[in-house]
Amino acid sequence: MTKPAESGGECANCNRRQAFIKLGAASIGVACTGAAVFGYEFLSPNVLYEPSPIVDSGKPDQYPPGTVTQDLKSGIYIVHGPEGIYAMSAVCTHLGCLTAWNTDLGIIACPCHGSKFTRDGTKIAGPAPRPLVWLRASISDDGDLLVDRSAPLERKEFVRT
Amino acid sequence: MANSLAEHLENLRETRLWRSIFRSGSGSTNLHRALAVQQNVFLHLASVKMRKQSLAFRVSWFLGTVSLGGFLLLVATGIPLMLYYHPSVPQAYADMKDLRFVVSAGLFLRNLHRWSAHAMVLLVFAHMCKVFYRGAYRPPREFNWVVGVVLLILTLLLSYTGYLLPWDQLAFWAITVGSNIMSSVPLLGARMRFLMLGGNTVNANALLRFYVLHCVILPLFAVMFIAIHFWRIRKDGGLHSGEELEP
């Protein structure tokens, strides 16, 4: 860094110089902020090529009373209990592994860390902090059972056919 | 404000952390300045001292520096583009369209990449002409001229491989024609074309090969030869300045 000529103790151009330094620093600041916004916008995809959260599970009469059906592709359970049909996410609430329905034992078990659930999602054993998530199920105009994987339910809801 | 800023910087230079990274420390003696250049991995490619005359605009028109700027701009725009581009037959064209119409700032980055690529070819040619007509290729700089020719070929190859990636009709037929020209090389031509395309037609393998060449292999070679090119400037006694022109 070269210092301005300071012969005579007074610096004639110092105010001007400082103003330019401030202007330069401000421009760099604006450019950096712009680049950060620009980068953030670019990195956030505007369109996602992910499967739709709404799953068409076909006609409800293919789920007889008392059965638990696992849809491996979409990661959900369709259960036909005494109160009606309901849908649950098969994703374990511990660390997101896909659980599996064990017909012989009549429980849902997670292969990763040994969490176990009943058929209504209540935890029996293991590290899972919460019961399995219930999902909104509805009947479409065509009479198909629709499950919305993006709509976790607060209270239990059943579809009656 | 400027004074206090300078003081802060000066204090920063005295800290242990700073001194552990930049050994030369503060000071404006010639030795300090020379050490600051010599001990920095990026700056050490350049000469510690250079003649003021050789830095005048008329000497080089800064064409080499601007070419480097083009290369850096292409790297800076190319890496973000890679985040949205899949080099596969079903997706490549759709991804290019998405970059233009869907991704925020995608149109800007893609066009900047494209225009910078065109500009770089032009600039490298202009740089070569300037060096030629100034006589800067003559000894002791004859090896650096050869390195420059390699860099010109790398620039053209980068341009050529990048041309296929949009995977549109223009790209497809350009590479079909280009690879057929290659196959006219005596004896080895057909085999070279087969290896370059990874098949007999411009297809999925060719797209992937061109992508890897464009994004990994050729840029690596370009960086290596750019480093040699700059280092040779120092080794050959600095930039060619006007006074050497008159024998």
User: What digits encode the pLDDT tens for the residues A84-114?
Assistant: 999 999 999 999 999 999 999 999 999 999 9
Residue A1 has a pLDDT of 47
When the pLDDT of each residue in chain A is averaged and rounded to a whole number, the result is 89
Regarding whether A138 and A61 lie in a shared domain, the answer is yes
Contact at CB, B103 and A18, closer than 8 angstroms: no
Decide the pairing of beta strands A145-152 and A107-109.
unpaired
pTM of the model: 0.81
- Chain A residues with CB under 8 Å of B5 CB are 21
The CATH architecture of the domain made up of B52-239 is Up-down Bundle (1.20)
Regarding whether A44 and A61 lie in a shared domain, the answer is no
* Number of folded domains that form chain A: 2
pLDDT at B40 over 90: no
* Interface probe with A: pick from B10, B103, B109, B111, most Cβ of A within 10 Å: B103
In a domain, A102, yes or no: yes
Chain segment B46-55, per-residue pLDDT in tens: 888 778 888 8
In a domain, A17, yes or no: yes
Distance from the Cα of B2 to chain A's closest Cα (Å) equals 6
In a domain, A29, yes or no: yes
Q: What are phi and psi of B61, to 5 degrees?
A: 55, 20
**Can you say whether the dihedral through the CA atoms of B137, B143, B145, B146 is positive or negative?**
positive
Domain of A30 in residue numbering reads as: 1-48
- Chain B residues with CB under 8 Å of A44 CB are 104
Of A6 and A127, which is predicted with more confidence? A127
Residue B244 has a pLDDT of 53
Of B1, B6, B104, the CB nearest to A42: B104
Regarding whether A131 and A61 lie in a shared domain, the answer is yes
In this structure, the number of other CB atoms found within 10 A of the CB of residue B37 comes to: 16
Regarding whether A43 and A102 lie in a shared domain, the answer is no
Regarding whether A70 and A4 lie in a shared domain, the answer is no
Regarding whether A79 and A65 lie in a shared domain, the answer is yes
- Chain B residues with CB under 8 Å of A22 CB are 1-2
In a domain, A11, yes or no: yes
Of B80, B98, B104, the CB nearest to A44: B104
Taking residues B142-171, report their average pLDDT: 96
Regarding whether A10 and A88 lie in a shared domain, the answer is no
Query: Distance between CA A7 and CA A12 in Å, rounded?
Result: 10
SS3 of chain A: CCCCCCCCCCCCCHHHHHHHHHHHHHHHHHHHHHHHHHHHHHHCCCCCCCCCCEEECCCHHHCCCCCEEEECCCCEEEEEECCEEEEEECECCCCCCECEEECCCCEEECCCCCCEECCCCCEEECCCCCCCCEEEEEECCCCCEEEEEEEECCCCCCECC
* Res. B243 pLDDT band, cuts 50 70 90: low
Q: Is B89 helix (H, G, I), strand (E, B) or coil?
A: coil
Query: Distance between CA B159 and CA B114 in Å, rounded?
Result: 9
